[in-house]
Amino acid sequence: MNLVVVESPAKAKTIKKYLGPEFEVVASYGHVRDLVPKEGAVDPDHGFEMKYQIIERNEKHVQAISKKLKTADALYLATDPDREGEAISWHLYELLRKRRQIGQRPVYRVVFNEITKRAVNDAVAHPRELSYHLVNAQQARRALDYLVGFNLSPLLWKKVRRGLSAGRVQSPALRLIVEREQEIEAFQSREYWSVEADAADQGKTFSAKLAEYAGEKVEQFSITDERRAREVEQALIAAAHGKLTVDKVERKQRKRHPAPPFITSTLQQEAARKLGFTAQRTMRTAQQLYEGVDIGSGAVGLITYMRTDSVNLSQEALGELREFIAERYGDDHLPPQARLFKTKSKNAQEAHEAIRPTSIGYQPEQIKAHLTNDQARLYELIWKRTLACQMAHALLNLVSIDLGCGEGNRFRATGSTIAEPGFMRVYLEGRDDVSSADDDEERMLPELKEGQTVELLAIRPEQHFTEPPPRYSEASLVKSLEELGIGRPSTYASIISTLQEREYVELDKKRFRPTDVGRIVNKFLTEHFTSYVDYDFTARLEDELDAVSRGEEDWVPLLEQFWKPFKDRVDYTQEHVQRSDVTQEAIDEQCPKCGGQLAKRLGRNGFFIGCSNYPDCDYTRDLNAEKGASDEPEIVEGKSCPECDSPLAVKRGRYGKFIGCTAYPKCRYIEPLEKPEDTGVECPKCKAGTLQKKKSRRGKIFYSCSTYPKCDYAVWNEPLAESCPNCGWPVLTLKVTKTKGAQKVCPQKECDYVGPADEDDGPEGPDAGAASARSKPTPEPA
């Protein structure tokens, strides 16, 4: 018997299907060991020696592997085909070797880009040895992250606030978001006017923009106020006499080529645009599709490996795609030869493939019933993009029409029609920010000839204001990280989630906005650790890690080059930078209470104005309050306390704003500023209230009793008004797992009931079901 080890039980189940009875497949459940979680885990004084320990929760899985290894003839390490996967295999090998459990058995490393019968058996038939270049690159990355985290985080605790932390790649990403916000705040809007003509020909209406006036080209800021716009309007009306003359009609055809197949970054961007998925949700769903889904005939790996920066497609895949296109759409939808795409990344691992279906024959509509909603939507996106990339180009008819309006005045209308759809029959790539020029090109125009006249319906001056650059969305942030070389495809999702978990950024209408804490952390890092949040420095470091993985550089000199100047900078900052230098910024105003200097300061709830003579002077006010305004709470009009009839006011507590009684502390009545959404599910504990949807301090959704604090019953996941078939508890919850999708579970710790969810019970939103149904949240009243 041969023992094959993979990371997850889902992957093990799929691979077992393709191997014969002489193979036993088990899961390690991810990494089996990691650095000891304390100072000294990486020792710069002794060649950056790294101290590892087994991950406690995975000890039982290592023991299970050890037990099966006793009767095995050989050990096959079949973890993912990247640095992280190589490191998992190496850590397991080292652990088993040190425990003297491998003995004389041969150990093989096998990798496959897709979990199909052919790929799995080919990999087992052609194993290789562990790649220590990949392992060392991963060790170097882990050491760098550890050294930065364990030295910068304590510094942030002392100089900013307890509980903060800094990361090697998250910090430049935070800088991107903060700098974009500063651009927006510094932006000076400018007024400008455009002039459009509404015209008609044989009942078909269209519009055209003023391109030339009085013999001069019209630029964006040619007309900057309403008075001038009205002058131009009246002059054009007088010159037109109700007609416009077609001076020129220019027609041309343009080819539009399909986008390349997905790589990790483009999959995350497109899933954000078209499906509204977070990067984390995209990667979690893609992992499920890669590891295998039961589509009626057993578990099948539906897509190739999802952490890749290569746009290559195998010859076998290209042949299957071209055959499918010819059969479904006809030979006229096939280019003469298969399309080959070139990756933009200089460090792309070309041995890998792009993200594609393992077989184009697994058509989305045919297997949809076997997939969760997220799996079906993401798989369809990958399937269509892959199919479209090998189809013929689309042919667009572009039309540009110049319309005369008296001497020296010209309007221009542009539009396009699709002559041959080609790949556009299947798929069209999304865009982050669509401009008005893009909209103009997609207009349909009537058939016009030079010399003819068209009816002028109206001249329309339109007021506009220049707009600041948009905040980053998940898609545009991933795109910028990729362009700047910050992180690598496998790290984008964790970079974004870490920034949110640390509360350095928040999502506002699906766009990232830095919090006050995020601004202060960024200010501290950019002022005192400038080079380490520099985009070029971070990108060069990533390139050097890639060079280590290729065997072109040694990892220890790389760490030595980084460590000494970094440690010197940490020590200098520790000694010379005061907390007040980081968290306070003086403003040109004196304290009305003691005459001292006022400053913008960072408090528990964000920025506020406070006296620099604190604690001798306790004057404070809200940052946005007018100068000299009192710090009295805002009274809620038309509402009084239901317990003592005193006025109610909007107050601020440790969890943000809430409504409270002005008679405090005699009366302690409080209520949330925003009424929580009621689920209508009766509280199973007190049976007096109902479970309401609320947000925790960190923005996570939970459900708690409406009578809190009298009743403290709460669950993380959405409650269902159904009794548990096992224990009879009046409520079940809807839980989502990576491998099994939505399920009904009993929230009682002593009950292990798990049942299938109804189709209508699907979770809403990208974070639904992210928390365990068996961990109890603490209700937060404000």
- Catalytic residue list: 305
How many other C-beta atoms are found inside a 10 Å radius of the C-beta of residue 192? 17
Encoded amino acid at 440, one letter: D
How many other C-beta atoms are found inside a 10 Å radius of the C-beta of residue 356? 25
Encoded amino acid at 505, one letter: V
- C-alpha closest to that of 609 among 593, 632, 625: 625
At residue 255's C-alpha, the angle toward residues 251 and 257, to 5°, is 155
Contact 655, 764 (CB under 8 A): no
- Element (H or E) spanning 2, and its range? strand 2-6
Q: Which residues contact 680 (CB under 8 A, 6 or more apart)?
A: 690, 721
- C-alpha closest to that of 703 among 721, 680, 719: 719
- C-alpha closest to that of 466 among 254, 114, 183: 183
What are the angstrom distances between the C-alpha of 132 and each of 308, 421, 623?
A: 20, 49, 55
Measured in whole angstroms, how far is the alpha carbon of residue 198 from the centre of its chain?
A: 42
| 143-148 long-range contacts, CB within 8 A, separation 24+ | 143/42, 143/48, 143/50, 143/559, 144/168, 144/541, 144/559, 144/562, 146/35, 146/41, 146/42, 147/42, 147/44, 147/559, 147/562, 147/563, 147/566, 148/532, 148/566
SS3 annotation, 493-513? HHHHHHHHHCCCEEEECCEEE
- For the purposes of burial, counting CB atoms within 10 Å of the CB of 311, is it exposed (0-12), middle (13-18) or buried (19 or more)? buried
Contact 173, 486 (CB under 8 A): yes
Question: Positive or negative, the Cα torsion across 94, 98, 101, 105?
Answer: positive
Contact 649, 630 (CB under 8 A): no
Encoded amino acid at 132, one letter: Y
**Quick one: tokens of 256?**
């539009």
What DSSP line would sit under 685-720, residue for residue?
Answer: TTSSSEEEEEE-TTS-EEEEETTTTS---EESSEEE
DSSP state of 303: B
Give me the count of residues in the chain: 782
How many other C-beta atoms are found inside a 10 Å radius of the C-beta of residue 209? 17
- C-alpha closest to that of 92 among 136, 146, 134, 32: 32
